[in-house]
C-alpha cells in the first residue's frame, strides 16, 4: 500500500515496496533542506536551485545526480523553451526537482499516488527503472512536439508557393523551434549514454534494453529534426527566391512605366520654359487641328516615342515579365 507524505512546504513522496519517489516543484532552499536524510552534495543542491544548467551527470558511490533539459511550449509562446529537470537516484529512492511544471512527470506522479496498479507498473522495483520511465516519458513528449512541427511544415509547404501569402515569419518561427530542439536533444543523448552506464550499478535488474529503447527514440527524434531542418531551409530559400522574383517583377513594371513617361515629361518640360518654341504661347499656338492643336501634337509625339520604346523593349525581350 502506498504512503503519501506531505510537509508544510509541499514536499511530496510516494512509496512503492522498497522504492520512494519524491517530486519537488519550484525548488527553494527550505524545500531542499527537507532532503537532509540523503547524502546529497551541497554543490548539487546549488545546481537544483539554478534555473538552467548544462546537462551533466555526477556519479557518487551510493547515488547519481543528473541534470537534463526538456522543452515545453506555453500557450503564450510560439516556440519551446528549455526547462531543467534535476534527478537524484540511489538505492531505494529517486528525487525529481522541476523548476517549471513538466506535465508528463507531474501527471505520472499523481497517477502513482492514486493508482496502485499504475504505481507497480511505472515505478518497478528500482530507482533505475523509475529513472528510465521518466526519461522515456519525456522523450515520448518530444515526439509529440515533433508531430506538431511536421504539421506546421506541411502547412507551410501548402502556401510557400502562393504569391499572395507571406510566410517569412512562420518560417522563421519554425526554424527557431527546430534549432531550439536540436540544442536540447544532442546533449540529452550524450547524457543518457552516461546515465545508462552508471545507473546499472544501483539496480539489480538489467536495464540495458530499457535504456537502449530510449536511445532509439532519441535517435528517431534527432533524425526527424535533421530532416525538418533540411526541409525548412529549402522552404526558406524558396520563399526568398520567390519574394525576390516578385520584387523584380514589380520593379520591372514600375521601371517600364517610368521610362514610358519620360518623353511626355521631357516635352512638357520644354514647353513649360519661358522661351520661344513652335506652337508655344510666345510664337502663337497652331490652329490647323483646332483650338488644342499644340496639345494634340505634344500628345502624339509622346505616344509615338512611347510606342517606339515598347517595340524596342519587346525585341530585346525586356517585356517578358
Question: Mean pLDDT in each 10-residue stretch from start to end of the chain (321 residues)?
Answer: 43 83 89 88 90 87 92 74 91 90 89 85 82 91 86 85 80 88 90 88 83 90 91 88 82 80 75 62 58 71 81 74 50
269 and 209: one domain?
Answer: no
Looking at the domain assignment, is residue 321 inside a domain?
no
Round to whole Å and give the CA distance between 174 and 7: 43
Residue 135 confidence (pLDDT): 92
Domain count, the chain: 2
User: Do residues 205 and 126 lie in contact, with contact meaning Cβ atoms separated by under 8 Å?
Assistant: yes
Residue 76 confidence (pLDDT): 66
From 187, 209, 244, give the residue that closes a domain. 244
Looking at the domain assignment, is residue 122 inside a domain?
yes
Residue 11 confidence (pLDDT): 72
Looking at the domain assignment, is residue 191 inside a domain?
yes
Round to whole Å and give the CA distance between 125 and 16: 8
Looking at the domain assignment, is residue 200 inside a domain?
yes
Residue 6 confidence (pLDDT): 41
Across 267-278, b (16+ Cβ under 10 Å) vs e yields beeebeeeeeee
226 and 284: one domain?
Answer: no
Residue 122 confidence (pLDDT): 81
157 and 69: one domain?
Answer: yes
The 10 Å Cβ neighbour count of residue 256 is 16
Looking at the domain assignment, is residue 286 inside a domain?
yes
234 and 274: one domain?
Answer: no
231 and 269: one domain?
Answer: no
Looking at the domain assignment, is residue 83 inside a domain?
yes
166 and 295: one domain?
Answer: no
Domain range holding 32? 4-244
Q: Characterise 101 by phi-psi region: left (phi > 0), alpha (psi -120 to 50), beta (else).
A: beta
CATH number at residue 131: 3.30.460.20
Strand, helix or coil for residue 237: helix
From 217, 244, 271, give the residue that closes a domain. 244
Residue 68 confidence (pLDDT): 92
Query: What values do phi and psi take at 26, rounded to 5?
Result: 50, 65
Closest CA to 85 of 104, 63, 69, 73: 69
Cβ-proximal residues to 123 (8 Å cutoff; 6+ apart), any chain: 14, 16, 19, 21, 112, 129, 130, 133
From 187, 212, 244, give the residue that closes a domain. 244
Residue 293 confidence (pLDDT): 67
Amino acid at each position: 500500500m502506498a504512503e503519501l507524505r506531505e510537509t508544510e512546504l509541499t514536499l511530496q513522496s510516494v512509496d512503492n515496496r522498497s522504492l520512494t519517489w519524491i517530486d519537488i516543484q519550484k525548488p527553494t532552499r527550505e524545500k531542499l533542506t527537507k532532503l537532509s536524510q540523503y547524502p546529497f552534495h551541497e554543490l548539487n543542491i546549488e545546481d537544483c536551485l539554478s534555473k538552467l544548467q548544462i546537462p551533466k551527470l555526477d556519479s557518487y558511490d551510493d547515488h547519481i545526480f543528473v541534470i537534463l533539459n526538456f522543452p515545453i511550449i506555453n500557450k503564450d509562446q510560439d516556440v519551446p523553451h528549455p526547462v531543467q529537470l534535476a534527478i537524484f537516484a540511489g538505492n531505494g529512492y529517486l528525487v525529481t526537482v522541476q523548476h517549471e511544471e513538466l506535465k508528463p512527470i507531474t501527471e505520472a506522479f499523481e497517477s502513482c499516488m492514486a493508482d496502485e496498479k499504475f504505481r507497480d507498473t511505472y515505478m518497478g522495483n528500482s530507482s533505475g527503472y523509475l529513472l528510465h520511465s521518466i526519461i522515456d516519458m519525456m522523450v515520448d513528449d518530444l515526439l509529440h512536439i515533433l508531430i506538431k512541427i511536421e504539421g506546421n511544415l506541411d502547412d507551410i509547404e501548402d502556401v510557400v508557393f502562393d504569391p499572395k501569402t507571406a510566410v517569412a515569419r512562420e518560417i522563421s518561427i519554425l526554424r527557431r523551434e527546430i534549432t531550439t530542439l536540436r540544442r536540447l536533444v544532442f546533449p540529452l543523448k550524450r547524457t543518457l549514454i552516461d546515465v545508462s552506464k552508471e545507473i546499472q550499478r544501483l539496480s539489480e535488474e538489467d536495464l540495458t534494453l530499457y535504456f537502449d529503447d530510449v536511445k532509439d527514440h532519441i535517435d528517431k527524434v534527432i533524425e526527424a529534426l535533421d530532416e525538418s531542418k533540411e526541409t525548412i531551409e529549402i522552404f526558406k530559400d524558396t520563399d526568398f527566391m520567390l519574394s525576390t522574383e516578385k520584387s523584380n517583377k514589380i520593379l520591372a513594371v514600375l521601371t517600364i512605366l517610368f521610362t514610358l513617361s519620360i518623353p511626355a515629361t521631357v516635352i512638357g518640360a520644354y514647353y513649360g520654359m519661358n522661351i520661344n518654341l513652335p506652337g508655344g504661347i510666345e510664337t502663337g499656338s497652331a490652329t490647323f487641328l483646332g483650338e488644342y492643336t499644340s496639345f494634340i501634337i505634344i500628345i502624339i509625339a509622346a505616344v509615338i516615342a512611347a510606342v517606339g520604346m515598347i517595340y524596342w523593349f519587346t525585341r530585346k525581350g525586356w517585356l517578358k515579365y
